[in-house]
Amino acid sequence: MQDYRLPADPLVLILGVTSLFMLFFVCCCGFLIPFSLGLAIVGWVLAGKSLRLYDVDPQQYSEGSRSIVSVGKIICMISALINVILALLITVFFLFLDYDIIEKFSNQTLIQQTKQITTRAKDSIVHDSVYDDALFKHPSTDTVATPAPKTRP
pLDDT of residue 139: 55
Each residue's pLDDT tens digit, 73-89:
999 999 999 999 988 88
Which stretches within 4-152 are classed as H helix?
9-21, 33-56, 63-92, 98-137
Torsion of CA 44, 46, 51, 57, to 10 degrees: 170
pLDDT of residue 12: 94
pLDDT of residue 91: 83
pLDDT of residue 13: 92
pLDDT of residue 79: 94
pLDDT of residue 8: 86
pLDDT of residue 76: 95
Hey, is 97 helix, strand or coil?
helix
pLDDT of residue 87: 87
Question: CB within 8 A of 102, min separation 6: which ones?
Answer: none
pLDDT of residue 85: 92
pLDDT of residue 98: 58
**Over its length of 153 residues, how does the chain's per-residue pLDDT go in tens digits?**
567 888 888 899 999 999 999 888 876 667 888 899 999 999 999 999 999 999 998 888 889 899 999 999 999 999 999 999 988 888 887 777 656 666 666 667 777 777 776 666 565 555 555 555 555 555 555 555 566 667 766
pLDDT of residue 90: 83
